[in-house]
Each structure stands twice: as structure tokens, then as C-alpha cells.
Structure 1
Amino acid sequence: MQPPVLTAVQAAEVECRLSKIDSLYSDFDDLQTEAELLCGSTEALERERDEFEKMYFAQMARARTMLADVRPSHSSTCGEEPKSELAPTRQDFVRLPKIDLPHFSGDYQKWLEFRDTYLSLIHNNQTINEINKFHYLRAALRGDALNIIQSLDFTSTNYSIAWNLLTERFDNEKILISNHLQALLNLDKIQKESSDSLRTMIDTINKNLRSLAALGQPTDYWDTLIIHVMAQKLDYSSNLKWEEFRNNHTDILDLKQFLKFLSNRADLLLTIQNNKQVNKTNNSQSQSYNTNSTQKNKTFTVSTANKPATVSCPLCDQEHHLYNCQAFRDLDVDARILKVKHFSVCTNCLRPGHTENRCRLSHCKYCTERHNTLLHKEKLENDNTQHIALSTNIIQTSKQTHVLLSTALVQVSDVNGKLHTARLLLDNGSTSNFVTRDFFEELGLPRESTDSTIQGINNQLTLSAESCNLTIKSRVTDYTASLDCYILPSITQSLPSTYINKNNIQLPSDIQLADPTFNIPGAVDILVGSEIFWDLPVIQETKLGWVVSGVIHQQAKIIKSNTLPFHSLLTHSLKPFTIH
């Protein structure tokens, strides 16, 4: 369709309108750019800009075409200088490119990353004017950082003021160094080996050391310190592997080798995890069978598995049955009974899915009633019971003669004051106290470095690099004691090694056992030496004669224990001293 032919008056009017329309387009460009920056340049806003510009330029071309037909060479009739046929390009209002800036909310550990990115993309970019830089800055800030410049008017002159306020607040070298050091030192200890945890440690080390180096810190000389700190934060298995790896090298390893070790171990753990998932998927197969019938065809789906489903403990969510749960065994009998009722499991086998009446497993080993041995309660004839810390463990000889070792269930306070139940072995032949590393990790207590040699049976030596102080409390009396313990991977095997029938032991009926489960195999968490075992000097008649024991305040250079370090050695060495 051809544009209409204009009269001279109409042509003059169109020319005057064209002289004003440029400023209107600039206003639109300003407002649209601000909206895009504040809203993240959404598709709707971009589409709106495209449609407006398409319509604007189409109408401008149409108007100039009509003017050209009437007055090929015209001058302004509105008191302005002649204009070119095309609208001039306004460099101050060019459409800004979409730049994905990192958001900054006031976290000092993220300031350097944000600052360097913003400087390179926006602040030092000469093609972006001040007002648009202010747009970018406000769009990238969040939280406390945004509040710092929130009160400033949105003008080009205030941009430099806003940027200076941010740098004065967050470009504090002392605070930045302190925060990056804290990020390294306060990294949480890995409780369970996993690929993700090791990757997080690697990223934390690299990120914070890069930032500290950018702040002028001599991080190239920190390898030994960083390795020592981070090795203490590894889980037990990974730390053990690292010590083995380090001992295989005669030279001192640097941080690059430590990070390479962590990366290789993370890859290994990820591969093992993936293989477990693949095997689990392959072991669960689905097969379809079609059976023909005179009436109709039916399709049945049968699921088969090569291995039983994964067991999950209802108490601690670990992969074991309830009767194998150490947390469950640490409870007293009444608490166990309540847990069994709460979880609705069989009181005989402690498994779900049936009741004790339909259970096919054997009965209690104590009283032959239909309940689990862990739920057995001693029947006391006299309510006025005498609290005697009597419990026993056995070492079996070839003649089925049993040596009784004293054990007790005690309560131990963790770092938050919460009580944990521990199985304690009383060893009056040991001059020191010991705790297993697994139980110590549960307590979360502080540890101290030490370099001690522990001498056991047959002069067997064990090294202990750490010690701790813990407080034990009796379950049956008000007795408490503070123990200085050496930390060891293990103390002895589960005691006793096999189940012992208490009916074969003539125990008084009016006593309360310190360890009611002394006859059931269980782990030993703490070994208490003679200083606590004989808290006061005692003289006692035995079949070997009278013996005297008590506290001796004398520091020994070598710690001796008749129980450590190997249970097989202990069993063999005690046979000649068995009392029949």
C-alpha cells in the first residue's frame, strides 16, 4: 500500500513531530533498560523491546518516505537544524548486553570473587556509562550489601559513591584474611568416608588458599601446616590410608601431593559407590510370565533377587538388625523393651513382620521364655538390694575353664553433657586407662597429642598418639571418676567370645550386676587400670594367698597392660594362671 501524498502543511507537521520523537525513544530506552536490569532481563521484557523498536522504526521510515515525496530536500520548519534521514545513534542509551554477574550478599569469603568479576566486566568497561553501571551494581547486590547503598538516589553521580561505600566496607584486608583462615581451620571433620566430603575439602582448601595468596599471604610455605590440619579432619579410614601413603615416601610430601591423594581417594569411593548401585540394580530383576487360560490370558510379574533387601535398623538407621545395634545394647532392659514395643518388632527375634507367637527362633537363654535374651530381666527376691559392681567376662581355655574378668556398664559424659552408655573392662594389671577411637569420636571431647609406648603381654608394644580426659558415672551408685585415657583403635575382642549360661554360675539373688549382659558377647569401649580399679588400698584373700592393691602416685615412662594389645595373645598367656 502506497503512503498518502501530503500537503505542504501536513508535511511541515510531520517534520515537527519527527524532531520530537527521538527524545521519546530515548526515554523509552532508559526505562526499559532499568526494568531489564532489575528483573534480570526476562523474555517478556525482551519481547516488548523488540516489538516497540520494530514498530518505531517502521513508522519512522514511513514518515520520512512521505516527506521525501513532498519535499525531497527540505529544511526544518520548527526552528531546528536540518536532520539526517536516519535517527542519530545515542551512545548513552545503547541496549546493554546481558551479563550474568555473581550475587553478593555481604559474605566476606565471597567478596574477592565478586569484586574481581565486577571490576573486569562492569566497573572498568569504558563502553558502559555510569548510570548503567549503577543498574548492574544494584542488580547484583543482595541482603546487607544492598542495604549499604539502598538510600542513595539512582543517579550517575551516585555510582562512584555507591562503589566506594562497598569497598570501604568489604575490602578490609585484615578481616578478609581472618575469614579465609577460619574457613580452613573450622572445616567440619568428616564423620563417614564419602567422595562428596573429600571433594568439598579439596575445594575449600583451593578456594581459600587462592584468596589468601591474592591478599599477599605467603601460602607457598604453608604446605606442612595445611596438610597437618586437614589430615586431622579426615574420617578414620581416609586418615589411615593417608598415613600409609605418607609412610611409603621417604621425602616430605607437599600440598599438591596431599590434594592428589584426596582426589584419587574421592574417585575410588565414587567408583565403589557406583558399583554398589549397579550391583543392586542387577540383583533385582523382573520377569514376566504369560499363562494361557480357557477363559482369559493373565500376565504375572515376579520380582526375584539374588540377595535379601538391605537391612535398616529402626533405632539408628544403619545397615544391621536391631539386636546387633550397639545403641540398642547400650540401653538398659526397660528401655529396650519400650523400644521394641515402639518399633512393633517381634519380642523374641527383634525382627519386624511377625509376633513372638509365630516366631520360629529359639527362646531366651536365661529363662527359656518366649522373649529375646536382650530383654531378659533379673527377678530379685528382696527389694532392698545390695549394689555390688559384679560382672564377669571369660576367656575360654581348651578345658572349658573360664577366667572371670570384671566388666561394668557405665555412663560417660560427652562434650555437651549428654550421657552415653559404655562397656568398661576393669583391669587391675594395667597402669593406665584406654578408650577405643570409635567411642571417643561419639563423645566429641577434646584430644591431646602424646607419644606413648604401651607394653602388653610378652612385651608387645603399641603406640598411642592421642589421649583424652573423660568422666564416668556408675549406673547403680553415685560414684563418678575422671579418667585420663589413651586412645586406641581397639582394646580387645568382643567379650565373652561365646554366650555363657548364667545358670551355671551361682550368683547371689540379692545383687545388682554392674553389667547385666556380662555373659553376652559385646564390645569393650573403655579399659580402666588399677588406679581406679583399686580406688582405695585393699587387702583381699584369694586362692593364691592375700593380695594388696591400691593407688601408687608414680609416673612411669612405659605403660604396662596385661590386656593389650591382642586378644589372642591375652588368651594364650593367661592359661597357666587359670584358677580351677
Structure 2
Amino acid sequence: MVKMQDQKQVIRLIKNSFGNFKKLGKDMMTAGACVSRMEQLKVRWEEFEKNHKALMADEAIDAEDEYFAKNQYEISYEDFLMNMGLYQDHLLKVKREISQLGAKSGTNQIEADMDANRAKLPQIIIGDFSGDIQDWVRFRDTFKEMVIDRPNLPEHLQDELFEDLRHVKGEAAELLREIPSGGEHFANAWKVLLNHYDNTRLLIHKLLESLMSMPAMVDNSASELMRVLNGTRNILQALKALGSPVEHWDHFTVFLTRSKITLQCQAKWEDSVKQKEHSTTPSSFNELCKFLEAERSTLSLLESNKEFAKKTPQARTENKATANKNRKSNNFVQANADRTTCPVCSEMHSVEQCNKFRKQSVEERKQTLGKKRLCYNCFGTHMLRDCKSTATCFTCNGKHHTLIHAPFKKDGAQNSSGKKKVSSQEKLEYSEETVSPQSVLATTSYNAQEISGEALLATASIRASSSDGQCTIVRALVDQCAQSSFVTEALCQRLCLKKRRVNVPVSGIGQGLTNSRSEVELAIRPHFPSKFKLMLKAYVLPTITSYQPSCRDPKIWSHIQGLQLADPNFERPGRIDVLLSTQIHARIVQEGLKTGGENAPIATKSRLGWILSGSVDEPSQGGTIVCLQTDGQLDDLLKSFWEIEEPPHALPWSAEDKLCEAHYQKNTIRLADGRYQVRLPAKPEMPLDWDNSRQIARSCLLSLERKFNRNPSLRVEYSSAITQMIESNQMRKVDIPPEDYGMHYFLPHHAVVKESSTTTRVRPVFNASARNASGQSLNEHLMTGPNLLPQLVLVLAHWRCYPIAFVADVSKCTYKYAFIQKIGNYNPSFGVKTRKRI
């Protein structure tokens, strides 16, 4: 029997694996030692998993142990992946050292170790190329990304890649037939292909020819629809890569693609266009693609239901009374990982799942909804007249929920026992819509047919990488009901992804709201070797879901044996770091579907591997199934609109502002010549040290003199400006005896030159912010006062009220004031310390 102490010892060994390896020292950290440590780490992890399964099955183990409370499985799994990544990084580092030292020493022990393990390097696989010029762009870009642009490619891989390049087919193979083998001829072979096929004009001609001659849909099936849509998009992407302005071809591409789909799809497209606010505006190609992707999802679902119904005919003849008795709710989509609070009983579930609400009679349910002010149709927090949901009662098709349907007594749909007959096809559906261009429909369905077992969500193990090459393997949830993709904050930190600031509300059923504050961009690939790569833009959330799979033995499903699964460890618990939206699902899904029995999952073929989803024969654990959606609330948008137009509010005056205003009203008068006489608003609690002001002003004056000596024209212009100020009574000469210097404040001044001015190129500026020897300035000892300028928004709004307006400057308005000489016991004559020749 496995002991908890043994498992904790294995945990420590996994966690400290790479740390112990570093303790060997740089000389001992060879490639061979690194490989052996990696193998040992894999053995430790297998031992950990074996012990974990034994502990889970042991009923004598305390369920509240720290091992289970802290979810030690997930922590150790992250430690295992991190250490494996560190070992891989060390191997790459050793490889770079070998490339640098290989020319100097052919007997290097590290290089020998790498030669021994060279067969373990991942194989680079390049796709086939038959000489078709339409496939050249894909082959060229893939080859350049994986080979040409790859630095420090080992020589043995160059030989292998050259052989792979020689395995092209058709016309391309004939071109390379005469080129000798060997890695030294690799560049020559690639140049031959470039010269022959890299013809932009011919490529564009062939692509347009393929676009125009693409066959129309043969029938109204999902595969035919995706053939037309993917074919059109692939050709347009290739044209865009060749420099064609496809972003301006919306009118043409919409017309052409519409002509390729069936009349039934065309009719649905026209109906969707008419529902737009501006139905006469031409639609974009992206809008058509979104519609066709949604139509493809609908057709795929209908086709899978038909296939499933053919294999399970007993489902159509199931006893109706048993189906009604064993009714069970299945949440297909929920807003977030946390369940909503029921307004009836305050528990964590929706109104439809509330046992207290279901035990009530129809009249009591209506009274409860009225008291709680809930919608009679969707149980939302609004009135029935404001309900946007298109769902209706499945009994009478009325505008109310089926749970509050009141049957008529004369209705003959009752059997002899007095119980209402329930059809095996009857469903109780609840849907809630948010009318917003950024919303996704969220639906919760209640099926009268019993569905036993646990639901298996569609997950995939993917390689997520950043723009700088950092890569990690994570688990992703593929959600056809999510409008946007999401990643966790932990993944962003692990890959050091660059974030872009956004503010996107994320909500769903129950109106549970959370906000995503950032958006990132990353690349995703399958966990197995593949040419497929997809760039993904995703919003960042702290967590995505608490979903954990529950499968005992997946080997009992024979229909998935031998398949390349998207998530080989789908039955094991693990954190989900990525949620892929319906747009991503449309780009990865391929033609191919495998079904098992009634309680077996369905396997869907995709570029990430075969994705499993559906029902499994496991007892239900009451888990929460999660899907996310973005919801731009209409009221928030309107609120932002009005707030932008709202003028800013005036700030209340401070105590100093009020004191300054009182000072102005008390000491300001208008003189006979029209000027205003003001007194400087000195702060009473901050006496100014005026003793050192003359020394600062004198130093500035001497500096100005030295500048004049270097630039005599500046002296002339500056002297003219000073003379003009004296003649206009803006300043006057003051005779101050030396013993009174301490009772006056001397302002330093300097020249400001504005070459672009047509009136005053040079003007004097008095610097009241200059600090004296004690570190004080005049401005610091004066009250600022309130801001008397009107708000710019109000000025602009007032400006628009009149048909004609004049704009003019008040000439020298700042010089229309006279200062009172006396401030307290001081006599600060504001003069200029100048020399006589100025």
C-alpha cells in the first residue's frame, strides 16, 4: 500500500530535480548528464502518477490532507513541466557552445555527448510539393520558417532536409533530378525552386483563376459549406501575402462567395442582413464569414444528431412516463466558473434549478416572480415587455416560461391517471439574449429525455508560444459558444506575453460580470509535429474554468483507439489555460466524425488532432460547465457617450483660494488712467527672506552682460525693449540706498528670443521663481488663487451659439496693472537691476 510519506518524497525529488543538477557544477553539467536526468525525471513522474491513483482509491486516506487540499497533483505537474523545460533549455545552450567550439576542437567531450544523442533531436517535417504553383506559397513560407530562417542548423539536419527537398513530386522533382546529393548542395536546390516558381504575376493569375472557377456547393452540408468558405479564405490570404489589396475587395468577394452557396443558405443570409440596423449598407466579407461559420456549426450539429439517432433507435421509443420522471437539467453554457445566486432561495444556482421554486404550484411561481420583479419569460431582472429573448413556452408557444404554463382543464392531453402526457421530443428551453454587437447567445436547456453520465468537454493539448520564441504545452478548452478567446494570467506570466490595455466586460447567464483589462497575442500549434500554426488574440483573465474531467478507463471506447487525439490525457485532471472561441473552432475543424455508443464521446477531426466531447458513462458529480462571452452592455455604452459630452465640474475653492479672493476684493482699485492697482497676495504664514535677493539678481545681470558681449545685436534689441517699458510706465527707476537693500526684493531678468515673431523678437522676462541663497523664491510666498479661466468645453459650446464671432488678442494685458509699493513693513519696489548703458 502506498504511503503518503512516500508520495511526498517523490514530490520533493521532482521539484528539486534541476536544482540538484545545477549543484554538479558547470564542468559536470554535460549533455549526457542532462539527458540521463531527464529520463530519471520521467521515471519519477510515472511513479508519482501511479502513487496518486493508489491514494485516490484508498478510502483510509484523510480527504482533508494537505496533499488534496492544495491540489498537489497540479503543483507537481507544473514542477515536472518546468524542470523538463529547463533541461531542454540547457541542451540548447550546450548545442550553441558546441557550434562555437567545434571549429577549434574536434575532440570536445560535450560534442561527443551531443553526437551520441543526436538521434533524439526533433525531426523537421516539410510538406509535399507536387509542382502546383497554387501550393507554392504555402510550401515556400513553411520551408523558409522552419529551415531557411532557422539559425545554426546542424549539418546532419541539412543533409536530411536536402533529401526531403528532393522528395518533391511532379514537375518540381524533375527540376532537382540533376542536382547531386549532399547538404552542400542544399542552397543550390532551393535557389532552383525559387527561380522557377517564385513568379508573383503568375501566382496571382493562378489564384484568381482558382477563385473564379471554384465549384459551388453540391448540397446543403457542413463539409460543402466549409469547402467553399475555407477555399475562398485561403485564396484571399495567399493573394494578400502576394501584395494584393484584398481588404478593399469586400463587394466582389461577398458577391462571388454568395453565388457559391446553396439557395437555402442565401435566403438565410438575406434574412440576417435585413435584421441589421442599416440593411441597405453593403456587408463586408468578414460579416459573411461569421454568418457562414455559424451556419456550418448548425449544420454539423444537425448532422451529428441524425447520425446519433440512426445508431440509437431505442431513444425514439423510450417510455414517455420514464422520460418525464427522470428529467434532468444539463447546463451547456454558463457565464463563468462561479454559479449564480438564486433570487428565490439565495443558493448558488439559477431559478430553473431551484427545488423550492419547482415545488410551488404555477400560481405560486407567478406570485414569486412578481415579488422578485423577475421576467415571466426568461426569469431575468427586467419586465416582460423589455425581454429580448426569442424563447417561448413549449406547451402553448406563448410569451412565458414553460414552468409557469397553466394548462386548461378541458385540455384532452391527460391520460387516465390524470397526468399530462409528455412527448419524448418535448424540451424545455431557456435562452437569454443581449442585444449588443459584442454579445454571444448563452443558452441553458432542460431535456425531458434522461441523459445519464458525465459530460466531457472538448479539450486539446497545444503548444503555446510567444513572439520571442518561448514555448510551453498547455490544455485548451474548445468552446463553440464563446465569441472571444481567453488565456489565464499565469500563462501570460510564463510566456512573458506583451499585453495591450483593453477594458472588455465578460458576462453570460445570470448577468455575472467580470472585466478583462488586457489583450495578448500568441501562436498555437498541436502538441504533435505539424506544419499547422495559428496566431491567436485573446483576452486575459485570472482563471478560466474549474472544469475537471471524470473518466475511469478510456480504453473501453474502441472507436477512438489508434487516433491522434488532440488531448491524449483528456481523462486526467489539469488546469485549463486557454479557451478557444467559435472563430478558432471554425478554423481548426476538419471533415471527419467518429461516434461510439450511447454513453461514449464523439471524436471530431481537427488540425489539433481528434477532439473528444459528449457524454461518458460516469456518475454525475454536479460539476459546473463553463463558457465565457463578451458582453458590451448597452447602458454602459450610453453612459460613456453622455460622460464624454458632459462638461467638467468646477472644483470647490480651497481656504487659500477664498483668502486670495478676499485679498483681491479688498486691495484692488481702478486708477484714473484706467489701470488697476493691485497688491501682491503674500502668504501671511510664510515671511520671505529678502536679504539675499540682490546678490542673485546681480549674478544674473552679469551673465546677461557676458551674453551681450558675444552678441551685440541682442544688446541693442534688449535695450530697446527695456526703454520701451520705461517710457510706457511699466517700470520706473528707483534710488535705493545700500542700507535699505534688505527691505527690497530684486527680480532677476533675462532675454527670451523668438525668431518667428513678427512684432517682438526679443523681450525681457522677470524670473520670480528664482531661488535666493536660502532656497526661497517670491512665487512660493504668494498665493496662487483659484483658476479663473472658463472651461475649454464651455468656451467651445458658447462659441457655437453665434453665427459670427471675432478673435483678437488683448495687447499687453499683463502690463495694465500697477503694484502697491508697501507690503507690511517692507517696501518692495519691483525694479530692474541694470547697468547705466542699458
TM-score by length of 1: 0.33
TM-score by length of 2: 0.23
